Each structure stands twice: as structure tokens, then as C-alpha cells.
Amino acid sequence: MKILVAVKRVIDYNVQIRVKEDGSGVVTDNVKMSTNPPDDNAVEEAVKIKESGKAKEIIVVSVGEEKAQETVRKALAVGADRGILVKASGTIEPLAVAKILQKVVEKEKPDLVFMGKQAIDDDCNQTGQMLAAILNWPQATFASKIDVKENVLEVTREVDEGLETIEVKIPSIVTCDLRLNEPRYASLPNIMKAKKKPLEQIDASELGIDIKPRIEQIKVEEPPKRKAGIKVASVEELVQKLKNEAKVI
Amino acid sequence: MSVLLIAEHNNKEVKPFTFNAITAASQINDDLHVLVIGKNADTVAKSISEVPSVKKVIHVDDDIYENYIAENYTPVIVKYAENYSHIVSSANTFGKNLMPRIAALLDTSQVSDIIKVISEDTFLRPIYAGNAFATVKSSDKKKCVTIRPTSFDPAPTSGGSAEIVKGENTDSSQNTKFVKKEEIKSDRPELGTARIVISGGRGMQSGENFKLITAIADKLNAAIGASRAAVDAGYITNDHQVGQTGKVVVPDLYIAVGISGAIQHLAGMKESKVIVAINKDGEAPIFSVADYGLEADLFDALPKFLEELNKLNTIQK
């Protein structure tokens, strides 16, 4: 079995986001970048499945600027076998990413495609479902547990009401939740080895698909700030304030 | 220009967020139709027909729609989408799972999780865990939009009498099978719609210690929330998680106990009307969004808090 894992390079989750003064976006210059956190879970799960003997090869793919190579290399350092970078600049909307991934899937013919459930930059939560739709494959979104069985996956999904379990036939798409597993760190020798693993670069323009944005970002602004609050000295004071000042209890 | 909203329900009752989504959908265009897909879901179709802002209900009923499987829902919605300018649903796990599948088949770039309708094609949505707001304009002919339910008031649920039309089902998917749902039943208010939420974080130290929170929740008729750290540590189940990848809540009162306040958690609660933080670390970021901060050991503060609440003559429910 072959697993394709899609990863995205995003502003690190610990970075305090700053909005550009001209309203054109958020500051990305000299800001620490990392792999989108749930994409790390997707890579980890693929590696675990390979270690269990149920998968033979893991291909990791990213769509973005040249620098997204780092994101691909990081996945190679924790156990993916080879990488693909589809180079594209500017805003690539989830629908466009799904169309790019469709081309990669047609070429590589994986049995499973894993990715994070949501990117923490645009918070769209779309790409996996869109890819599943255009491939006409089943989708298992928000996965917190994956069992690989004969020709099917049994997937536990985190939903608003609790947990749901579904069975999807292979080939299928899984989008991963942060609770799926604990991503490992790459060891130094493995980081060195990853530098020698193959990383193919493709230009998105060679794929013959329209990836122009359909959504115009008119303005990006800071959310309204909360008024600074106060510290209370005691529980008694807190309850009194909630009762008589805020009038919420 | 007409809007088609996909209702979320459990075949008997409409899920409350559907009413919030109805409000947003009718702000896009007042010719609002609602698609109810389910099994023996007549009471659902009836309830929605009574919402005054709904002009028409299309009810598609079949055994294959007993459980909510995106692969089965999608073909029906895509078929009906032909007659509409907008396809809309709530941006909870229901709509998040479903809508992109529809959008891709309609070749539309979806607008996720909107918090404001500016015009028929322009919307406001949070990005970067709510640390920035983006005004976006869709150029697609057909628009697929998901709505952050807590940013819109629920629509009135009675007084209307929209026509209910029976729709036709499409084929079921052979590739996806429902196995089971472990729904956590509780007599408490739902986290998403509760007036008061009290949440525990890593500072609770164990699942057992959540009983301190439960006691106060009982007293205040509050829902119980949690930070991701508390869920990851196994103190409490995932349906309680508040934050960027969990639920977004905007109660009148949010009480954060033993929660440091990572930006991912703040994303899910900082729009609450009044925020209380109880934490022994005075430097914790949670205090930066709190209206009332109490720097104290929660194991002392929570029993005292309950004691003080017990002294009050009346408590708003």
C-alpha cells in the first residue's frame, strides 16, 4: 500500500499574528514558519502504518513556495520515503490545492491520502473533502483513530456530539485531528539522511489546471480588542462583581 | 437569487445551530429554502416550515439518510443546487465535513466560517484563529458558504407556514458505511448555546478534579468546557473542547479555570460577553482577555466559589 501525505507550511502556531497596517494581510516576513500542526499528525500516522508493515511507501507532497521544501524535508526526516513540491506562489485556495493534489494522485496512484483537518492560517477546513469529491473517493474527516483493515479503514471521527465511527473503502482520504497520535521528533541522523531522499519539484503551471483565486481578499484587519479587565482580590469579590456589576449570575 | 440551506437534525429534532444559520442565510437573500435530508424526518421538515423566514422546505426522505454520511448527502444537494445562487450550512462538524464536498463538485471556492454577511457576495471571516478578520468577496457564480453559528442569533421558530415539497433521493454510496456514534448524553445545556460555560484546563490535574467544576456548573446551570490540553490528557471527552480546532462559544459568562490561555483556546471563547479567569499564574495570557481575573490556586478557589454561590439568594438560570 502507498500513502500520500499532504503538508502545508504555515506561520508557527506559537507566533503572535500581526496584521499589516495597509490591510493587505498578516506579517509573514521574518516570522517563524512550521508544518501545519495536524499535518504532522498525518505524517506520523502514515509512518506508524508503514512501521506496522501495512504500507510500503510514503510520499509527502506540499504546494507552495520554494521554501516549502523545508516542510517536505521535515516529513522525510520522520519517515516519509520521498517528497514532491508543487511550486506555486500567491494565494492558492483549497479548491486549487485539491485540483493540484488530484493530478499528483493520478500520477502516483496512492491507496490513501492523509492530511491535517484544517490549516491554522486560513482555517478553511476544505482541502481533504474537496479532493475526496473530485476523485469520487470516500472521506473520513477529523480522524482521531484509524484502523487499517482488509480493503477498508475503520475511522473514529471527532464530531460535535462526541465520537463517530465509519468504515471507508480504500482508496480513501483521511483528514487528521490533533488527537490522532503524538508526532515524533526527527533525530539528527535522520535529518541528515532526509537530505538525501528524493524531492521532486513540479511547477503548478505545468499541470494544466486553473488555480487562480476565486475569492478576493478585500481587507484584513485586527479583530476588535477587548477592554482591559481587572484583577479581583478574593472569591467573595469575584462573586459580588458577577452578581452586581456584570449581572450575569 | 435564492439561498438553499442544508438543515442539520437527528431525524426527530432540528439541531439548534440550524436556526442560527437560517438567520445568516436570510441576510444573504430573503428567498430562503431549506433542504431537509433524513429518514422519517417529517417532524423536522414541519418544524423548519414554521420558521417565518423560510419560504420553502424541500424534504428528501430515505433509509439511506438515517445517518449523516457526506457521500450520500452530497449528490442530492448538488442536484438541487442548480436552482440556487448560494448553498449554505452551519460551520460545525456537520457543515465542515459536508460543504467542501459540495463546493468541489460545483467547482466553487468555498467561503468558510463567516461571522458577518456584508452583501450577497462579500463576507467577514476570522483567520489565524481569530487573530485577524478578513473581508472576502467571492467571484464564483454559485457560492458555498458555511456560517459560524454563534455569530448570528437563532431565527424565531414559530409563526411561519412554508410549503413542504417532497424531493427525490439519489443513489447511496457503497464506499462509506456508518458503524456507530458514541454520543455523550447530558442534562446540562449544550456547550455551543449555553448562557454560562465553565471550562477546565491542564491546571485541573486530573479528570477526577473536574468534579469541582461540575459542582459549580450544576449550581449555575452551566455547560462544561475544556482546553485542548485537558482533553489530550484524558481528563474529559473531546466534545467539551473549546478553541480553534474545537468549539466556538460566546456565552454571557465564560469561566476559565486552570487554563493558561493559548491563542488556540482564546480563538474559541474570547467573544464571550464576560470572561472570568482563575489561575495561580498571574502572568498567564488568559488574564489579558479576562474581565475579572482571580490569581489563586483553583483547589482553594473553586470550593470557596461554590460556597459563595450557595450564599446567594437568587441565581439567574
| Domains of chain A by start residue, with CATH | 2-244 (3.40.50.620)
* Rg for chain A, CA atoms, rounded: 21
Among partner residues B128, B139, B287, which is closest to A214 by beta-carbon distance?
Answer: B139
Instruction: Provide the percentage of residues in chain B whose pLDDT is more than 70.
Output: 100
Among partner residues B132, B182, B308, which is closest to A222 by beta-carbon distance?
Answer: B132
Does the pLDDT at position A197 exceed 80?
A: yes
Question: Which of B123, B147, B166 is at the close of a domain?
Answer: B166
- Residue A227: the pLDDT is 82
Asked if residue B136 and residue B213 are part of one domain, the reply reads no
Asked if residue B200 and residue B162 are part of one domain, the reply reads no
Query: Is residue B158 very low, low, confident or very high in pLDDT (cuts 50, 70, 90)?
Result: very high
Match 448560494 to its residue by C-alpha cell. B86
Query: Is residue B1 very low, low, confident or very high in pLDDT (cuts 50, 70, 90)?
Result: confident
**Contact indicator for A130, A136 with CB cutoff of 8 Å:** no
CA distances in angstroms from B36 to B9, B59, B91, B150, listed in the order given: 8, 5, 17, 22
Asked if residue B129 and residue B41 are part of one domain, the reply reads yes
Contacts of B289 in chain A (CB under 8 A): 226, 229
Asked if residue B94 and residue B19 are part of one domain, the reply reads yes
Contacts of A246 in chain B (CB under 8 A): 253, 274, 291-292
Domain of residue B203, CATH code? 3.40.50.1220
Q: Which of B11, B101, B143, B197 to mutate to test the interface with A (most CBs of A within 10 A)?
A: B101
Q: Which domain holds residue B229?
A: 196-311
- Residue B183: the pLDDT is 84
Buried b (16+ CB within 10 A) or exposed e, A216-246: ebeebeeeeeeeebeebeebeebbebbbeeb
* CA pair distance A71, A60, nearest whole angstrom: 9
Residue B179 within any structural domain of the chain: no
How far apart are the two ends of chain A, measured CA to CA in Å?
58
Query: Is residue A225 very low, low, confident or very high in pLDDT (cuts 50, 70, 90)?
Result: confident
Asked if residue B31 and residue B114 are part of one domain, the reply reads yes
State chain A's mean pLDDT as an integer: 96
Contact B304 A217 (CB under 8 A): no
Q: In chain B, how many domains are there?
A: 2
Residues 38-77 of A with CB under 8 A from B: 38
Contacts of A36 in chain B (CB under 8 A): none
Asked if residue B222 and residue B99 are part of one domain, the reply reads no
* CA pair distance B154, B17, nearest whole angstrom: 7
Residue B172 within any structural domain of the chain: no
Q: Does A21 touch chain B (CB under 8 A)?
A: no
Query: Is residue B187 very low, low, confident or very high in pLDDT (cuts 50, 70, 90)?
Result: confident
Tell me the shortest Cα–Cα distance from B290 to chain A, in angstroms. Answer: 6
Buried b (16+ CB within 10 A) or exposed e, B174-187: ebbbeeebeeeeee
Instruction: For residue A184, give the amino acid letter.
Output: R
From the centroid of its chain, how far is CA A126? 10
Contacts of B220 in chain A (CB under 8 A): 249
Instruction: For residue A149, give the amino acid letter.
Output: K
Residue B221 within any structural domain of the chain: yes
- Residue B317: the pLDDT is 67
Note the pLDDT tens digit of each residue in A149-189: 999 999 999 999 999 999 999 999 999 999 999 999 999 99
Domain of residue B21, CATH code? 3.40.50.620
Q: Which of B10, B128, B273 to mutate to test the interface with A (most CBs of A within 10 A)?
A: B128
Contact B93 A166 (CB under 8 A): no
Does the pLDDT at position B125 exceed 90?
A: yes
- Residue B263: the pLDDT is 92
Asked if residue B260 and residue B135 are part of one domain, the reply reads no
Listed ranges A217-231, B16-30, B183-197; the one with the highest mean pLDDT: B16-30
Mean pLDDT of all residues in B55-74: 97
* CA pair distance B36, A161, nearest whole angstrom: 20
Tell me the shortest Cα–Cα distance from B82 to chain A, in angstroms. Answer: 17
Asked if residue B159 and residue B204 are part of one domain, the reply reads no
Q: Does A225 touch chain B (CB under 8 A)?
A: no
Asked if residue B159 and residue B271 are part of one domain, the reply reads no
Contact A165 B184 (CB under 8 A): no
Among partner residues B102, B132, B175, which is closest to A26 by beta-carbon distance?
Answer: B132
Asked if residue B154 and residue B59 are part of one domain, the reply reads yes
